Amino acid sequence: MLERDTKFLEEAFKQYYFDHFDLIHVPDRPNQREFGYKKFNSGMNRHISLKNDNDLHFLLMTNIPSDVFCSNACYSFPNMAMAEKDWKEADLIFDIDAKDLNLSCRKEHTCIKCLSCGEASLVQDSCPNCNSTKLDLVSLSCQNCISGVKKEVLKLTSILTDDLHIPSDNITTSFSGNEGFHLYVKGSQYNQLGSKERGNLIDYIMFRNATPETFGFNKFKPSRSSFPEFNEPGWRGRVAKELFGSKSKRPKTISKIISDGYSTYRQKLVDIGKNSIGTKIDPNVTVDIHRIFRLEGSLNGKSGLVKLNCENIEKFNPYSEACLIEDNQVEIFGKCPIEFRLKNRKFGPYTNERISVPKYAAVYMICKGIANLA
């Protein structure tokens, strides 16, 4: 990133933190949490201990980070090296991102940026300017992407409350500040689980490694009565609804399943897990019990949008409500070949042209690498 772009972003981020301290707080038990941050054009700084909001606000104003993080884990010594921290427990955290949904609309709002010459263009195999194949994909998610992620969030929340018996009051949902949502489960019976056990939990939530026997197919002696019913709780009820569609179709569908055989049924369970009933979450996030996670109320350095709590996810519009940078006009060179919307305004496409846009749009495009300060 060019030095003047870095300076512009740092000034914009500093102003945001000065204006919005009320949104940024240390989590519960801050003296047991590890904090970290990144600056533009530099690496991660972690193993930091903070005691209260004042410490956090001082860190923000003196370092002006691009991203701020806090551990989901609690330690006896959070500022020590990892092997010496003395892990106690960790909140369950789930990450659902638009990039993992493989929605058809994604190709319409994704472009490439050449790492050799900096040219941005519509998706193709090589840079149209210099023919380099060293390319970065840049996605500017749309409302359809966000709607898709919201459906996964609601699906996950249902599994957590209905199957795992986690009280809804213990679950917090936040927009990630870029293309997805984070779910935190605090104060649950699962906080003591290690990475391996969390992996097993993820298999359940994502409907992975399901066996035909669990869902009614005895390999040696199939029985119609053992297949799942519509009114059963948990995955058996969900599988029944997905497989049969309606109670009237159940007998005929079971006959076909038995006729097709055990292996075909096993593959059918795999397919519906991947494509419909399984929740599409990033498993690596949940199993990492030492991860430092983006702090709520902080800005996301990939977009300039805020990681923000969602009290009503179905009504929440991240590209309006989480867009809190100022709106004074800024001159930039836009290199954005696709259209996007912020605060209900349309921007782009721009073909390396000098334009005046609100500061929040300038920050968004520069963070995405598809604009430079004029």
Structure tokens that stand for 361 in this block:
């749009």
| Cα 302 to Cα 294: distance, rounded to the nearest angstrom | 12
Over the range 97-108, which residues count as b (16 or more CB within 10 Å of their CB) and which as e?
bbbbbebebbee
Q: Which amino acid is at 196?
A: K
Residue from 97, 136, 203, 327 carrying the catalytic annotation: 97
Of the candidates 9, 3, 104, the residue with the CA atom closest to the CA atom of residue 305? 9
> Are 178 and 262 a contacting pair, CB within 8 Å?
no
| Cα 205 to Cα 197: distance, rounded to the nearest angstrom | 13
> Are 320 and 340 a contacting pair, CB within 8 Å?
no
Q: Which amino acid is at 255?
A: S
Angle, helices 250-260 vs 234-244, to 10°: value is: 90
Residue from 55, 100, 282, 288 carrying the catalytic annotation: 282
Residue from 95, 163, 169, 203 carrying the catalytic annotation: 95
Phi and psi angles of residue 69, each rounded to the nearest 5 degrees, phi first: -130, 155
**346: β partners:** 341
E strands in the chain = 35-38, 44-48, 67-71, 73-75, 87-90, 92-97, 110-114, 120-122, 135-139, 171-175, 180-185, 292-294, 308-309, 329-334, 340-342, 345-347, 353-358, 371-373
CB burial class (10 A; 0-12, 13-18, 19+) of residue 233?
exposed
Examine the residue annotation and report whether 97 is marked as an active-site residue of this protein. yes
Q: Would you give the DSSP letter of residue 29?
A: S
Q: Is 76 left (phi over 0), alpha (psi -120 to 50) or beta?
A: alpha
Examine the residue annotation and report whether 95 is marked as an active-site residue of this protein. yes
Which residues have a catalytic role annotated?
95, 97, 282
